[in-house]
Protein backbone atom coordinates (compact mmCIF):
# COMPACT_ATOMS: atom_id res chain seq x y z
CA UNK A 1 0.00 0.00 0.00
CA UNK A 2 1.44 3.33 -1.05
CA UNK A 3 2.67 5.48 1.79
CA UNK A 4 2.27 2.81 4.42
CA UNK A 5 4.98 1.96 6.90
CA UNK A 6 6.83 -1.17 5.81
CA UNK A 7 6.37 -2.90 9.17
CA UNK A 8 3.73 -5.65 9.41
CA UNK A 9 0.44 -4.71 11.08
CA UNK A 10 0.92 -6.77 14.24
CA UNK A 11 4.37 -5.41 15.00
CA UNK A 12 3.66 -2.05 13.44
CA UNK A 13 5.07 0.85 15.46
CA UNK A 14 2.61 3.50 16.61
CA UNK A 15 5.04 6.13 15.41
CA UNK A 16 8.04 5.74 13.17
CA UNK A 17 10.31 8.37 11.66
CA UNK A 18 13.23 8.00 9.29
CA UNK A 19 15.73 10.79 8.86
CA UNK A 20 12.93 13.27 9.52
CA UNK A 21 13.93 16.89 9.07
CA UNK A 22 12.43 20.32 8.98
CA UNK A 23 14.07 23.55 7.92
CA UNK A 24 12.38 26.95 8.21
CA UNK A 25 13.52 29.37 5.56
CA UNK A 26 12.85 33.08 5.48
CA UNK A 27 14.42 35.88 3.48
CA UNK A 28 16.84 36.60 6.30
CA UNK A 29 17.32 33.27 7.94
CA UNK A 30 17.52 29.50 7.64
CA UNK A 31 16.65 27.63 10.83
CA UNK A 32 17.18 23.90 11.11
CA UNK A 33 14.43 22.87 13.52
CA UNK A 34 14.81 19.11 13.12
CA UNK A 35 17.37 16.93 11.43
CA UNK A 36 17.85 13.21 10.95
CA UNK A 37 15.23 12.13 13.48
CA UNK A 38 14.94 8.33 13.66
CA UNK A 39 12.37 7.16 16.18
CA UNK A 40 10.23 4.12 16.67
CA UNK A 41 7.48 4.12 19.27
CA UNK A 42 5.69 0.88 20.02
CA UNK A 43 1.93 0.54 20.29
CA UNK A 44 0.84 0.94 23.90
CA UNK A 45 3.87 3.01 24.88
CA UNK A 46 3.84 6.30 26.67
CA UNK A 47 6.74 7.99 24.95
CA UNK A 48 8.24 11.25 26.20
CA UNK A 49 10.03 13.84 24.11
CA UNK A 50 12.22 16.01 26.29
CA UNK A 51 14.25 19.00 25.38
CA UNK A 52 14.87 22.64 26.18
CA UNK A 53 12.89 25.46 24.57
CA UNK A 54 13.51 25.58 20.85
CA UNK A 55 14.90 22.04 20.74
CA UNK A 56 12.39 20.95 18.09
CA UNK A 57 9.85 19.02 20.20
CA UNK A 58 6.80 20.95 19.05
CA UNK A 59 7.97 20.90 15.45
CA UNK A 60 8.19 17.12 15.66
CA UNK A 61 4.67 16.90 17.11
CA UNK A 62 3.31 19.26 14.47
CA UNK A 63 4.70 17.09 11.70
CA UNK A 64 3.31 13.92 13.26
CA UNK A 65 -0.20 15.38 13.63
CA UNK A 66 -0.15 16.66 10.01
CA UNK A 67 -0.13 20.36 10.85
CA UNK A 68 3.27 20.84 9.26
CA UNK A 69 5.08 19.24 6.32
CA UNK A 70 8.60 17.91 6.83
CA UNK A 71 11.30 19.14 4.49
CA UNK A 72 13.13 15.80 4.49
CA UNK A 73 12.67 12.21 5.60
CA UNK A 74 9.48 10.32 6.30
CA UNK A 75 7.15 9.67 9.20
CA UNK A 76 4.31 7.24 9.84
CA UNK A 77 1.71 7.28 12.58
CA UNK A 78 -0.28 4.10 13.12
CA UNK A 79 1.16 2.88 9.83
CA UNK A 80 0.00 5.90 7.81
CA UNK A 81 2.31 8.31 6.05
CA UNK A 82 1.88 11.77 7.60
CA UNK A 83 2.25 13.45 4.22
CA UNK A 84 0.41 11.15 1.82
CA UNK A 85 -2.27 9.68 4.08
CA UNK A 86 -2.96 12.71 6.22
CA UNK A 87 -6.73 12.63 5.77
CA UNK A 88 -7.06 9.01 6.91
CA UNK A 89 -4.61 9.62 9.72
CA UNK A 90 -6.70 12.41 11.24
CA UNK A 91 -9.38 9.85 12.13
CA UNK A 92 -6.88 8.02 14.33
CA UNK A 93 -5.12 10.76 16.25
CA UNK A 94 -5.77 13.75 18.44
CA UNK A 95 -3.71 16.49 19.95
CA UNK A 96 -3.80 18.54 23.12
CA UNK A 97 -1.53 21.52 23.65
CA UNK A 98 -0.95 22.97 27.06
CA UNK A 99 -0.46 26.58 28.01
CA UNK A 100 -3.07 28.03 25.68
CA UNK A 101 -6.49 29.49 26.38
CA UNK A 102 -8.29 27.44 23.75
CA UNK A 103 -12.07 27.23 23.62
CA UNK A 104 -15.17 28.91 22.24
CA UNK A 105 -15.80 31.08 25.27
CA UNK A 106 -19.53 31.55 24.55
CA UNK A 107 -20.24 27.82 24.59
CA UNK A 108 -20.78 25.65 27.61
CA UNK A 109 -18.19 23.00 28.39
CA UNK A 110 -20.46 20.08 27.43
CA UNK A 111 -21.61 21.90 24.30
CA UNK A 112 -18.09 22.40 22.98
CA UNK A 113 -17.05 18.86 23.75
CA UNK A 114 -20.17 17.47 22.09
CA UNK A 115 -19.51 19.71 19.08
CA UNK A 116 -16.06 18.22 18.68
CA UNK A 117 -17.39 14.70 19.05
CA UNK A 118 -19.62 15.43 16.05
CA UNK A 119 -16.70 16.70 14.00
CA UNK A 120 -15.15 13.29 14.68
CA UNK A 121 -18.30 11.45 13.61
CA UNK A 122 -19.24 10.02 17.03
CA UNK A 123 -22.86 9.13 17.66
CA UNK A 124 -24.50 11.81 19.75
CA UNK A 125 -25.61 9.52 22.59
CA UNK A 126 -22.24 7.77 22.86
CA UNK A 127 -20.49 11.11 22.83
CA UNK A 128 -22.64 12.48 25.66
CA UNK A 129 -21.95 9.37 27.77
CA UNK A 130 -18.22 9.58 27.11
CA UNK A 131 -18.09 13.29 27.85
CA UNK A 132 -19.91 12.86 31.17
CA UNK A 133 -17.60 10.01 32.12
CA UNK A 134 -14.43 11.95 31.37
CA UNK A 135 -15.69 15.16 32.99
CA UNK A 136 -16.44 13.18 36.12
CA UNK A 137 -13.01 11.56 36.15
CA UNK A 138 -11.22 14.88 35.73
CA UNK A 139 -13.31 16.62 38.37
CA UNK A 140 -15.12 18.85 35.88
CA UNK A 141 -18.63 17.42 36.17
CA UNK A 142 -19.85 20.41 38.16
CA UNK A 143 -18.67 22.95 35.62
CA UNK A 144 -19.98 21.02 32.60
CA UNK A 145 -22.83 23.49 32.12
CA UNK A 146 -20.74 26.57 32.70
CA UNK A 147 -19.57 28.73 29.78
CA UNK A 148 -15.94 28.22 28.84
CA UNK A 149 -15.13 31.90 29.33
CA UNK A 150 -15.79 31.41 33.04
CA UNK A 151 -13.31 28.56 33.50
CA UNK A 152 -9.91 28.90 35.09
CA UNK A 153 -6.93 28.09 32.86
CA UNK A 154 -6.46 24.80 34.70
CA UNK A 155 -10.06 23.80 34.04
CA UNK A 156 -9.69 24.75 30.37
CA UNK A 157 -6.61 22.59 30.16
CA UNK A 158 -8.47 19.64 31.62
CA UNK A 159 -11.35 20.27 29.22
CA UNK A 160 -8.87 20.17 26.34
CA UNK A 161 -7.67 16.81 27.62
CA UNK A 162 -11.26 15.53 27.64
CA UNK A 163 -11.57 16.70 24.02
CA UNK A 164 -8.43 14.83 23.10
CA UNK A 165 -9.35 11.61 24.87
CA UNK A 166 -13.07 11.33 24.18
CA UNK A 167 -12.70 10.28 20.55
CA UNK A 168 -10.50 7.35 21.63
CA UNK A 169 -7.68 8.02 19.18
CA UNK A 170 -5.10 5.34 18.42
CA UNK A 171 -2.34 7.84 19.20
CA UNK A 172 -2.68 11.02 21.22
CA UNK A 173 -0.11 13.79 21.17
CA UNK A 174 0.14 15.78 24.39
CA UNK A 175 2.26 18.88 24.02
CA UNK A 176 3.15 20.14 27.50
CA UNK A 177 -0.26 19.11 28.90
CA UNK A 178 0.52 20.08 32.50
CA UNK A 179 2.32 23.35 31.90
CA UNK A 180 1.08 26.09 34.24
CA UNK A 181 -1.21 23.69 36.12
CA UNK A 182 -1.22 23.54 39.91
CA UNK A 183 0.07 20.39 41.56
CA UNK A 184 -3.37 18.81 42.03
CA UNK A 185 -4.56 19.51 38.49
CA UNK A 186 -1.30 18.20 37.02
CA UNK A 187 -1.69 15.01 39.07
CA UNK A 188 -5.28 14.60 37.81
CA UNK A 189 -4.08 14.94 34.23
CA UNK A 190 -1.28 12.40 34.69
CA UNK A 191 -3.61 9.94 36.39
CA UNK A 192 -6.18 10.26 33.64
CA UNK A 193 -3.60 9.73 30.90
CA UNK A 194 -2.43 6.53 32.58
CA UNK A 195 -6.00 5.34 33.16
CA UNK A 196 -6.96 6.06 29.54
CA UNK A 197 -4.02 4.02 28.33
CA UNK A 198 -4.97 1.23 30.69
CA UNK A 199 -8.39 0.90 28.99
CA UNK A 200 -6.75 -0.39 25.81
CA UNK A 201 -3.17 -1.72 25.74
CA UNK A 202 -2.63 -0.58 22.14
CA UNK A 203 -3.31 3.09 22.85
CA UNK A 204 -0.22 5.22 22.51
CA UNK A 205 0.72 8.59 23.99
CA UNK A 206 3.43 10.91 22.75
CA UNK A 207 4.17 13.46 25.44
CA UNK A 208 6.38 16.50 25.41
CA UNK A 209 7.11 18.00 28.77
CA UNK A 210 9.35 20.40 30.58
CA UNK A 211 8.93 18.51 33.80
CA UNK A 212 11.55 15.81 34.26
CA UNK A 213 9.79 14.32 37.23
CA UNK A 214 6.65 13.98 35.15
CA UNK A 215 8.56 12.24 32.37
CA UNK A 216 10.29 9.97 34.87
CA UNK A 217 6.99 9.06 36.52
CA UNK A 218 4.87 8.64 33.40
CA UNK A 219 6.97 7.62 30.42
CA UNK A 220 7.91 4.10 29.37
CA UNK A 221 10.66 5.55 27.21
CA UNK A 222 11.92 9.03 26.44
CA UNK A 223 13.91 10.71 23.69
CA UNK A 224 16.04 13.71 24.50
CA UNK A 225 16.01 16.28 21.73
CA UNK A 226 18.51 19.09 21.53
CA UNK A 227 19.02 21.54 18.68
CA UNK A 228 16.82 19.51 16.39
CA UNK A 229 18.49 16.16 16.98
CA UNK A 230 17.72 13.15 19.15
CA UNK A 231 20.80 12.85 21.31
CA UNK A 232 19.62 9.91 23.45
CA UNK A 233 16.63 7.68 23.94
CA UNK A 234 15.67 4.84 26.18
CA UNK A 235 13.80 4.11 29.38
CA UNK A 236 14.14 6.73 32.14
CA UNK A 237 15.97 4.07 34.16
CA UNK A 238 18.49 3.41 31.38
CA UNK A 239 19.11 7.12 30.92
CA UNK A 240 19.63 7.59 34.65
CA UNK A 241 22.21 4.81 34.59
CA UNK A 242 24.37 7.12 32.47
CA UNK A 243 24.95 9.16 35.62
CA UNK A 244 24.99 6.22 38.01
CA UNK A 245 28.70 6.43 38.64
CA UNK A 246 28.75 10.19 39.07
CA UNK A 247 28.58 11.85 42.44
CA UNK A 248 25.62 14.18 42.41
CA UNK A 249 25.66 17.16 44.67
CA UNK A 250 23.14 19.96 45.19
CA UNK A 251 24.64 23.20 46.41
CA UNK A 252 22.70 26.13 47.77
CA UNK A 253 24.39 29.52 47.73
CA UNK A 254 23.45 32.99 48.73
CA UNK A 255 23.11 35.28 45.70
CA UNK A 256 26.34 36.74 44.37
CA UNK A 257 28.41 37.04 41.25
CA UNK A 258 27.97 34.47 38.43
CA UNK A 259 29.63 31.15 39.18
CA UNK A 260 28.28 28.54 36.78
CA UNK A 261 31.02 28.79 34.14
CA UNK A 262 33.72 28.67 36.84
CA UNK A 263 32.18 25.51 38.30
CA UNK A 264 31.92 23.87 34.88
CA UNK A 265 35.59 24.62 34.27
CA UNK A 266 36.73 22.59 37.30
CA UNK A 267 38.38 19.32 36.32
CA UNK A 268 36.11 16.44 37.30
CA UNK A 269 32.85 18.43 37.05
CA UNK A 270 30.92 16.51 34.41
CA UNK A 271 28.01 18.90 34.18
CA UNK A 272 26.51 21.71 36.17
CA UNK A 273 23.20 23.50 36.11
CA UNK A 274 21.74 26.30 38.14
CA UNK A 275 18.40 27.77 39.00
CA UNK A 276 17.18 30.47 41.31
CA UNK A 277 14.42 29.71 43.79
CA UNK A 278 13.12 31.99 46.52
CA UNK A 279 16.20 34.18 46.32
CA UNK A 280 18.60 31.26 46.69
CA UNK A 281 20.85 29.97 43.89
CA UNK A 282 20.67 26.20 43.62
CA UNK A 283 23.37 24.37 41.69
CA UNK A 284 23.32 20.71 40.66
CA UNK A 285 26.76 19.27 39.98
CA UNK A 286 27.77 15.94 38.48
CA UNK A 287 31.19 15.10 39.84
CA UNK A 288 33.50 12.34 38.64
CA UNK A 289 34.20 11.30 42.26
CA UNK A 290 34.22 12.58 45.83
CA UNK A 291 37.70 14.06 45.41
CA UNK A 292 36.29 16.79 43.17
CA UNK A 293 34.10 18.26 45.91
CA UNK A 294 36.90 20.10 47.81
CA UNK A 295 37.92 21.82 44.58
CA UNK A 296 34.32 22.92 44.05
CA UNK A 297 34.10 24.34 47.56
CA UNK A 298 37.42 26.15 47.12
CA UNK A 299 36.11 27.79 43.96
CA UNK A 300 32.90 28.83 45.71
CA UNK A 301 34.89 30.25 48.61
CA UNK A 302 37.11 32.13 46.18
CA UNK A 303 34.07 33.75 44.61
CA UNK A 304 33.07 35.21 47.95
CA UNK A 305 29.72 33.43 48.01
CA UNK A 306 28.42 31.64 51.08
CA UNK A 307 27.22 28.04 51.02
CA UNK A 308 23.84 27.65 52.75
CA UNK A 309 23.28 23.99 51.94
CA UNK A 310 24.99 20.94 50.46
CA UNK A 311 23.28 17.61 49.75
CA UNK A 312 24.51 14.47 48.05
CA UNK A 313 21.64 12.63 46.37
CA UNK A 314 20.53 9.84 43.98
CA UNK A 315 20.60 10.55 40.22
CA UNK A 316 17.44 11.77 38.50
CA UNK A 317 16.39 11.99 34.89
CA UNK A 318 17.20 15.67 35.04
CA UNK A 319 20.82 14.85 35.90
CA UNK A 320 21.02 12.57 32.88
CA UNK A 321 19.50 15.34 30.78
CA UNK A 322 22.01 17.91 32.03
CA UNK A 323 24.90 15.54 31.34
CA UNK A 324 23.68 14.84 27.81
CA UNK A 325 22.60 18.34 26.84
CA UNK A 326 25.11 20.31 28.89
CA UNK A 327 22.45 22.49 30.53
CA UNK A 328 19.18 22.17 32.36
CA UNK A 329 15.75 22.50 30.78
CA UNK A 330 15.36 25.92 32.33
CA UNK A 331 18.53 27.45 30.96
CA UNK A 332 18.59 29.40 27.70
CA UNK A 333 20.62 27.95 24.85
CA UNK A 334 23.61 30.29 25.05
CA UNK A 335 27.12 30.26 26.33
CA UNK A 336 26.36 33.02 28.81
CA UNK A 337 26.92 32.41 32.47
CA UNK A 338 24.09 31.52 34.78
CA UNK A 339 23.75 31.94 38.49
Partner 1 sequence: MGLAIVRGWQGYWVAVRLGWAISSNWTRPFLFIVYSILRPISMALILAVMYTVITHNSAAARPYLAFLIIGTAFWSFIQEGVSEFATGILEDRGRYHMLKYTYLAPLGFPVFLVGRASSKLASASASVVIVLLVGTFALGLPINPLTIDYPLLVLACLLAFVAIMAFSITLSMVLLAGRDSHGYGEIMAQFLYLFSGAIFPISLLPGPLAWLASLSPLGYWLELCRRAILHGRVYEMFPQLSDGEVLARLVAAVAGTVVLGYFTYLLSDRMARRRGYIDMESSW
Residues that bind partner 1 (CB under 8 A): 24, 62, 65-69, 87, 90-91, 93-95, 97, 100-107, 111, 115-116, 118-121, 124, 163
Q: Which is nearer to partner 1, 95 or 143 (CB)?
A: 95
Q: How far is the CB of 289 from partner 1 (least distance, A)?
A: 47
Q: How far is the CB of 18 from partner 1 (least distance, A)?
A: 20
Q: How far is the CB of 114 from partner 1 (least distance, A)?
A: 8
All residues at 6 or more sequence positions from 110 whose CB lies less than 8 Å from its CB, including other chains: 128, 131, 132, 135, 144, 145
Q: Which is nearer to partner 1, 21 or 338 (CB)?
A: 21
Q: How far is the CB of 57 from partner 1 (least distance, A)?
A: 14
Strands (E), the chain: 15-25, 30-41, 46-50, 72-77, 80-81, 93-97, 171-175, 204-209, 221-226, 229-234, 247-253, 269-277, 280-287, 307-313
Q: Which is nearer to partner 1, 53 or 124 (CB)?
A: 124
Q: How far is the CB of 275 from partner 1 (least distance, A)?
A: 28
**Do β-strands 93-97 and 247-253 pair in parallel, antiparallel, or remain unpaired?**
unpaired
Q: Which is nearer to partner 1, 156 or 327 (CB)?
A: 156
Q: Which is nearer to partner 1, 101 or 145 (CB)?
A: 101
Q: Which is nearer to partner 1, 90 or 330 (CB)?
A: 90
Q: Which is nearer to partner 1, 69 or 291 (CB)?
A: 69
Instruction: Write b or e for each residue in 189-217: b if 16 or more Cβ atoms lie within 10 A of its Cβ, otherwise e.
Output: bbebbeebbeeeeebbbbbbbbbbebbbe
d(CA 94, CA 111): 19
All residues at 6 or more sequence positions from 243 whose CB lies less than 8 Å from its CB, including other chains: 270, 286, 315, 319, 320, 323
Q: How far is the CB of 298 from partner 1 (least distance, A)?
A: 49
User: How many residues are given for the chain?
Assistant: 339
Q: How far is the CB of 209 from partner 1 (least distance, A)?
A: 19
Q: Which is nearer to partner 1, 62 or 110 (CB)?
A: 62
**Nearest partner of 252 among 306, 208, 312, judged by Cα:** 306
Q: Which is nearer to partner 1, 1 or 25 (CB)?
A: 25
CA end-to-end span of the chain, whole Å? 55
Q: Reduced to 3 states, what is the DSSP secondary structure of residue 243?
A: coil
d(CA 326, CA 205): 27
What sections of 149-306 are H helices per DSSP? 153-166, 183-198, 212-218, 236-241, 260-264, 292-302
d(CA 47, CA 197): 12
Q: How far is the CB of 26 from partner 1 (least distance, A)?
A: 10
Q: How far is the CB of 243 from partner 1 (least distance, A)?
A: 36
Amino acid sequence: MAGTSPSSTSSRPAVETRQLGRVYKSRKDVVVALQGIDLSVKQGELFGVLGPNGAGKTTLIKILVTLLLPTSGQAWVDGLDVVKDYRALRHRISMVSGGENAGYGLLRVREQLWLFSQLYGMSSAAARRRIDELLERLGLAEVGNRTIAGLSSGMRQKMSLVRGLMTDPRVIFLDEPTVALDVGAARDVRNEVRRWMGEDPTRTVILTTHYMQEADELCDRVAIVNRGEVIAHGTPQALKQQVDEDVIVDLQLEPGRPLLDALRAIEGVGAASAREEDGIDRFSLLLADDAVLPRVLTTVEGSGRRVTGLVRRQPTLEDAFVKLVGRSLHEEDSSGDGA
